[in-house]
Amino acid sequence: MALPYSCRLFVAQGLCVKRIIRQGLRTVSISGFLPRRPFHLCRNPPSVNDAGGSEHTGYRVTLWTAVAFSLFGSTDDRTDAQKMEDEIILLLKKAKYSMMLGELDAANGFLHKAVRLAHQSHNNDAIIYTYTLMANLAFIQGELDNAEKLFKAALSFVLSGGTPQDDNAVIEMSLKLASIYATQNKNELAEHGFQFCTESLEAKLEKQKDLPPDTISEEERKDTRLLLGLSLDARARYLASSRRFTGACRDYRHALQICQEEQGEAHPQTLVLMSDLATVLDLQGKHDEALAQVKKAVELGHAAGYPEQHVLLGNMAGILMHKGEFEESVKMYEEALALAKAAGDVEAVEQFEEGLKELRRRREEKEQSSYKEPSLEQ
């Protein structure tokens, strides 16, 4: 299967902005090196009842009541600045929860309120965090120009605060901008951005080797390596989408090595990188190497109970088809299709059904050519 160009950078906040906002927005967490898969970015939102509300509406009201009570308590002796900060935090929590539910318009409303309060209180940490959330949301909604402006605004606030250019937060935002440029087909800007991210991180890691052991924490070292892996992965997908397979393979191999060392062989992201590397090898005509790579991913995924095993099986089926091993390919497609249906993955089901159609077409062509060969000899 070909690799669609979609980046997990925008599913949720990334590795490093938390370094800037940890002290300011003390209770808003940011997820880390998230697994991403080739088929889709977001799950279906919850169902809506007859009254027009979400099935989670009652729970959400209770949740915000509980959060508000826990923040403010029975007596309110907070300063005006603390009240403003707590209100921003509550709005950001509401925005993130709405995004989880797929209620993107509601999330956008909460974020606009939060950023207004952040500007009023001159809380740069909150401004940076809110702008990055707004940028992620804009990207998910396909508003690429708006996402670009918001990331640039966030980056401007980060740099104006004295943050060095090789800080992980700066590089992460630069990587997101590069991915936006890639999606907009602004190739020169995209390639410059990817190059800046990878070279800055590689130089930073090289410098860290000469530092005393206690200079940086193990968490920061790991974050930097994982961000390099994320940058290489993003550039590999960009290169693969423009059919520069040699460069894509190089970056995938490096990203895979980092992920294996930092996350482990059976980590979901390791499995995805194995599968994506196999896809590019397959596109280069290196079918045997591709099959060995994806087969290893399938075996590790099966042993680990990987929830998206059907994605790996579907990729393996496609590679088997390209090798001409049609019987095995049918088995893999049928197994992948059954798992995709059980998981309710509509897009994957469509992909695998298309794969089976392509497989039938190739088998018919092969059978027809085999019938013609004896007659030519006669």
User: Nearest 5°: phi and psi at 43?
Assistant: -80, 165
Q: How many CB atoms lie within 10 A of CB 156?
A: 13
Q: What does the angle CA 255 – CA 190 – CA 249 come to, to the nearest 5 degrees?
A: 30
User: Nearest 5°: phi and psi at 12?
Assistant: -155, 175
Q: Which two tokens stand for residue 22?
A: 């940890």
What does the pLDDT profile of the chain (378 residues) look like in tens digits? 444 434 444 433 344 444 333 333 333 322 333 334 332 223 233 333 433 344 444 444 444 444 454 555 556 677 888 889 999 999 999 999 999 999 999 999 999 999 999 999 999 999 999 999 999 999 989 999 999 999 999 999 999 989 999 999 999 999 999 999 999 999 999 999 999 999 999 999 999 988 887 888 989 999 999 999 999 999 999 999 999 999 999 999 999 999 999 999 999 999 999 999 999 999 999 999 999 999 999 999 999 999 999 999 999 999 999 999 999 999 999 999 999 999 999 999 999 999 999 999 998 888 887 766 555 454
| Overall pTM > 0.75 | yes
- 45, 204, 227, 253 from 14: Cα distances, Å: 22, 19, 9, 22
Distance separating alpha carbons of residues 35 and 253, to the nearest angstrom: 17
The residues near 136 (Cβ < 8 Å, ≥ 6 apart) are 10, 11, 12, 13, 147, 176
Distance separating alpha carbons of residues 313 and 296, to the nearest angstrom: 11
Question: What pLDDT sits at residue 375?
Answer: 52
Superfamily name and number for 1-37+81-216: Tetratricopeptide repeat domain (1.25.40.10)
